[in-house]
Amino acid sequence: MTLKRRPVFRIWVPGIPKSSQSRGVKTKYIKLIQEATRKQVPYPIKSGRIDIEIFFVASRTIRADVDNIIKPILDSLVNIVYFDDNQVRSIRAVAIPPDDIMSFHNANLEALDRLYKSNEFLIDIYHGIGILGPGGKPGTDTH
């Protein structure tokens, strides 16, 4: 089975992801994510089949652990992307090392270029999953 899909929503957020353990920035940080999200997402998805991917270029010296950046981002998306974070069935957070040679299969080169050149991080929202079925014929799961 080969996964093939495009995000329903692509959200670019200024800055770098912050850890759930960061002090004093949580409210301002959540509002920043919500503001960027509202520009791209017109209504919450009702489905319980939401997948989220987060990509950011990691600092050479300081980087939040990927597991600690997930919770504030999920909390920020409530009532904008989905009604409850229990609708999210998978999440993937990727810290891209700025100085490593990386290989991305079917990568969106424009998105990678923007990640490296800007001070932003990316949240891709997927609804359902696109699957190439038996014999490589397209099939979809969008419920």
Task: Let me know: does 41 contact 79? Beta carbons within 8 Å.
Answer: no
pLDDT tens column, 83-99? 998 999 999 998 887 76
Q: Is the pLDDT of residue 135 over 50?
A: no
Q: Report the side by side order of strands in the sheet with 2-3.
A: 2-3, 129-132, 138-141
Q: Which residue has the higher pLDDT, 64 or 82?
A: 82
CATH class of 2-131: alpha beta
What residues form DSSP beta bridges with 2? 132
Q: Which residue has the higher pLDDT, 4 or 91?
A: 91
Residue 85 one-letter amino acid: D
Per-residue DSSP letters for 80-114? TTBS-GGGEEEEEEEEE-TTS----TT--HHHHHH
Q: Which residue has the higher pLDDT, 21 or 141?
A: 21
Confidence of residue 68 (pLDDT cuts 50, 70, 90): confident
Please compute the mean of the pLDDT values over residues 104-124 and round it to a whole number: 78
pLDDT tens column, 39-56? 999 999 998 899 999 998
Q: Which residue has the tokens 């974070």?
A: 85
Kindly give the interhelix angle for 66-77 and 26-38, rounded to the nearest 10 degrees. 60
For the chain, the domains span 2-131
Q: Is the pLDDT of residue 10 over 90?
A: yes
- Burial class of residue 2 (count of CB atoms within 10 Å of its CB; 0-12, 13-18, 19+): exposed
